[in-house]
Amino acid sequence: MTYGVAHLSIIPLRSEPSEKSEMVSQLLFGDAYIVLEEQNGRFKIQTCDCQYEGWMDKKLFNPIHELDVEAYLSADKYFVKDYLLFIKTFEQDILFPVFAGSSFPFPKDNILILGNSIFMVHLPEEKQVQTVPELTESQVTIIQFAAQYLNAPYLWGGRSPAGIDCSGFSQIVYKRIGLALPRDASQQVQMGKTIDFVEETQIGDLAFFQNEEGKIIHVGIICGKNKIIHASGCVRIDTIDTTGIFNHETKTYSHFLRIIKRILSL
């Protein structure tokens, strides 16, 4: 098999082997993937973390040797918590940003090797997670990290603070606490334990919403009593009740509730 690892801030993944097809997801810096096939100067790839498939430009391919893949995937990784982390290319000394939600093996002596690419990385000092009465450390981490995305614009297929969709948002937030979610809301809804009533929700629960045909089309994260943080227009906090999400700006329900799932083991 042929493997690669993302060495750029963002690499678009498209539904078809064409620049004109829709973007369905993104690779973030450090994401590993398997090449499945080649067509029209593009690779169809599958991500190693959640097995999501899409087409990327072949010119953006950064190979990683098959013998190194297992070690790369199992290595302890640094998770980018701040909006941006600036790093430098080793040879050209070019500074460029890595977005929150990206992860990569801890550098050795400030040197990071990703496939054929080498970078200079100076990691920031770790910040302790604040303690909040009646909340677990995971719940506090989820709320604090999710809040960093407030006002980030909605972008279909996006996975970064520069543009993100609803399921990309929930996936990245849960990645922050070391839990791997599938890419799409229709897959994420298969996980966790069903919560029967909105009044029984806890911070970190995922709420899923349906269209008129009953198809899951949206997901958000419970962030307080009758409050949900989600990507709709932008990442925002709205009210949730038994009907769905109520938008106080438009005075209407923007999404209709289908089911609530508890992913965290509290």
Please name the amino acid found at residue 214.
Answer: G
Amino acid letter for position 264: L
Which residues contact residue 264 at a Cβ distance below 8 angstroms, ignoring those fewer than 6 apart?
136, 138, 139, 179, 202, 204, 205
CA 15 to the chain's CA centroid: 18
Q: Which among 218, 223, 248, 255 is annotated as catalytic? A: 218
Catalytic residue among 7, 48, 122, 166: 166
Q: Is 218 a catalytic residue?
A: yes
Residue 244 · residue 254 · CB < 8 Å: yes
Active site residue 230: yes
Active site residue 166: yes
Among residues 230, 234, 248, 255, which one is catalytic? 230
Give catalytic residue positions: 166, 218, 230
